[in-house]
Each structure stands twice: as C-alpha cells, then as structure tokens.
Chain A
Amino acid sequence: MKCTRCRAEAAVALPSHHSAFCPECFLLFCRRMVERAIHDHAMCTSEDRVLVALSGGKDSLSLAWLLKELGYTIAGLHIDLGIPGASPVARRITESFCSRHGIPLSVLEMEPLGLGMVEVRQRIRRPICSVCGQTKRYFFNRFALDNGFTVLATGHNLDDETSRLLANLLRWDTAFLADQGPVLSAQEGFVRKIKPLYRLSEFETANLSFLLGIETASAPCPYSAKATFPVYKALLADLEDRQPGRKLQFYEGFLKHGRQHFAAQGKTPLSFCRRCGSPTSTEICGVCRLREMMGAPAEVMIAISSPAVLRTQDVSGSAEKE
C-alpha cells in the first residue's frame, strides 16, 4: 500500500478517510485534523494560555505534542492519584515526555490532600471512576483558573466522544446531550474546555503516539475494568468496519443538526460552594464533601497550590515550585 500523499510505503491505512499514509505524511494528517478542529470550533488562539490535562496516556501526551507543534502556548498538569503500581508509572511517563519535549509540567498529588484514590475507594459507596473523574475535573479546572490559564485542553478522541454520545442518546439524557461537544465555553467558575483530538480515532492516536515514541503504560489503573462506555465503543467500531467514516459523520452531524435542540434544556442553575467557591448545584461542592468525609484537615481545603503538594518541573529537569 502506497502513501496517498507522497507514494512512499504506507505505515497507516485509514479506510475511514480512503487514505493511507507514510509516517511523515501521517503526522501531517494528524496536525491538519487538529488544526481543523481548532479552527472550526474557535477553540483557542495564539493569545491563549492552554493547560493540557496529562494523564500519562497516549491521547493526552500526543495532544500536548500537537498543540506545541502548532505553536500554542501550553503547559501540562498531571494529577498523581496515589494508586500503587499505576500512578508512579503514569507520572514517570508524563514527566519524561514533558522534559524531552520542553513542556512545562506541574504535578498535583492527591494523597496529601486526603484524596488518594485507594483510601477514597475504601470509604465511598459510589463507583470509584465517577468519584475519581469528578475529582480530576475539579482540580484541572481549579488549577487552570488559579494559575491564569484561559483554556483547558483534554485528550478525548473520536471514540470517546461518539461512545459517550451514543450512550447519552440511548438514555435520551437531555442535560448531557446539551453539554456534549468539543468546546465548553467559559462561565463564572469554569475555564473554557476544549477537545482538539475529537476528529481523530483511537486507532489514529495510537499510531500517532507510537510514531512519537510515547511509552505505553505497563501498569494500567487496576480499577479500569469498570471504566465507562466499552460496549458502545465496540458497537461503533463494528459499524465503522461496515461503513468507514460513519463515526465522524455521526458526531459532526450531531454538532450541526442535533445539539441545538437540547441546548436550552436540563440546565441546573449554579451557585458557588461555601467552602471553596467552585460552581456547584448544591451548597457544598462534591469534592469538598468528599474531603470532609475523608477527614482532610480544614486548613488545606483550598490550599491546592501549597508547596507540599504541587511540584513544577522546568524544561531542564525538576525543581520545586516556590
């Protein structure tokens, strides 16, 4: 199979795009897909300071690389969840990737905040992934706002987005459908959130991360068996086999024709948490309630940038912040 663009030996076949690419042209293809996503949805400009949420996985690290390549001003935040086995590996991969590519990185540790996920899992009754996800979203948002970032970028890919869309549609979950899309605009207490990889499939980001030499974690999160939407991902993958290009059409079609009908519905009016000031639909936000339940000391409730828990790494190596 020859590269559609330059006729060299192809490395990646993409039936969804009726194309195949050699490594160099595939990198160019990925850049163009992200450029188009950013442009079509006015995600960010060169004026923005973009915080990239870095889990240590292939998608978020590839995203950081692409945004840097495209000339945006970026920095990464990694949240160390304190899960033995998985967290140290994810953190090491993130730190070495950022230092290799000159991406400023901060690491926020959950354990000193009383939110190490092993302890949290022992104490709560809700599924751990839902609590963990909520906690991560909270700290990414808080960190961005507290440190002058105008945009928070996450590595959600086309498979993440379409499986979530299908799940929400099958439940007719109007509130979630109203909010689903590659951009969530800034509101009081919320930084703008963008998903520049939404046009790239999981297969495409896997190829990209291989070509970028991103190490794959040998120790996945032990709780990941309970992660969401695998059924819908599998259904959509089967559909994509029969109808190449269907996933992207489904998602773009929703953005163009579907989403507007849900936009006015299901919005809960927001107030602000009495403890930390973050937006919430209740008096005290979910993360502050969790911290109270975990017996986290009150004085660190809002001290998310305390030097004990936040480390920044400069380009040349690692240095303690302040």
Chain B
Amino acid sequence: MITVFFEPEGTSISLPRCTTVLQLLHQTGRKPGRALVIRNGELLTPDRRLTPGDSIILRDVGSRG
C-alpha cells in the first residue's frame, strides 16, 4: 500500500497496486512533468520503484507564481 498526499489540496489516498512513480502518476491522473513526486524529502523521477509502505507527496505544478 502506498499513501499519497496531494498538494496543494491537502487530501490523501492509499493505492494498493502501484510499484513505480509512473504508475502512481497514471493512477492519480497526472502526467510526468506536471507534478513533483517527493519521498522522504527526495525528488523521484518517473522510473523509480516504490515499496509498500511508502509515503509520497504529489505536488501539482500550478501557476502560483
């Protein structure tokens, strides 16, 4: 199970079957290059593998200037 925290919304969900960042982006309706994927303060590229229990921040790249 992967826990995803959405920013700026402040909501969260759990994803049962998700093993890469790319899958996480697809399952949450995002595209690479439109959101930052952060695990333990580290930025992840789409090819990175996720492990059950991971806690991920998904920060949408908006136009907040």
Contacts and interface: CB of A to CB of B under 8 A. Distances in A.
Interface of A: 1, 10-13, 15-16, 20, 23, 55, 57-60, 155, 159-160, 201-203, 206-207, 210-211, 216-218, 220, 224, 227, 229-230, 233, 237, 240-241
Contacts of B34: 203, 237
B1 interface: no
A15 B65 CA distance: 23
Looking at chain B's contact residues, the main secondary structure is loop
B16 to A, nearest CB: 25
Given A23-B43, A210-B43, A211-B43, A13 B65 contact: no
A11 B63 contact: no
B31 A241 contact: yes
Of B33, B34, B36, B46, most A-chain CB atoms within 10 Å: B33
Nearest to A224: B64
Interface string B20-57: 00000000000111101010001111111000000000
Interface of B: 7-8, 31-34, 36, 38, 42-48, 59, 61, 63-65
Contacts of A230: 63
A202 B38 CA distance: 17
Contacts of B44: 11
A159 B63 contact: yes
B57 to A, nearest CB: 10
A11 B42 CA distance: 8
A313 to B, nearest CB: 21
Of A55, A159, A160, A216, most B-chain CB atoms within 10 Å: A216
